[in-house]
């Protein structure tokens, strides 16, 4: 009879340990999920900053900023991100779109 009581207590302790392990695992998964969401957010922010930096580093942006600060009107090509067919400066690639050229800024696959 004494052996049965010891066995019952050991079974109860083992079941409690399994339950505690499951609770601990749930807490760890929740923390890991929060950490991964934070890393995704930071990666997106870093990507956005790198994309913005590549735009600001282009040869076209300073000229446009000077025009805007001087109160001059931007041409429709300048507003839409197209430049005359002579092409942009080094560091950008282009593709023809009719009579103008779309500028693909460094580090991006989208036209600006």
- Per-residue pLDDT tens over the stretch 26-43: 999 999 999 999 999 999
Q: What angle do CA 101, 66, 77 make, to 5 degrees?
A: 20
* % of the chain at pLDDT higher than 70: 71
Q: How far is CA 8 from CA 16, 18, 21, 64, in A?
A: 12, 15, 20, 81
pLDDT value for 60: 78
Residue 8 scores a pLDDT above 70: yes
Q: Which of 74 and 45 is assigned the larger pLDDT?
A: 45
Mean pLDDT score of the chain: 78
pLDDT at 91 over 70: no
Q: What is the DSSP string of 49-82?
A: HHHHHHHHTSSHHHHHHHHHHTTPPPPHHHHHTE
């Amino acid at each position: 009879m004494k052996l049965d009581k010891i066995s019952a207590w050991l079974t109860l302790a083992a079941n409690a340990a399994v339950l505690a392990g499951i609770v601990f695992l749930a807490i760890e998964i929740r923390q890991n999920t929060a950490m991964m969401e934070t890393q995704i957010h930071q990666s997106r922010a870093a990507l956005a900053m790198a994309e913005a930096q590549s735009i600001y580093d282009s040869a076209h942006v300073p000229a446009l900023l000077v025009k805007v600060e001087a109160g001059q009107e931007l041409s429709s090509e300048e507003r839409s991100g197209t430049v005359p067919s002579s092409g942009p400066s080094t560091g950008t690639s282009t593709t023809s779109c009719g009579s103008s050229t779309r500028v693909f800024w460094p580090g991006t696959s989208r036209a600006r």
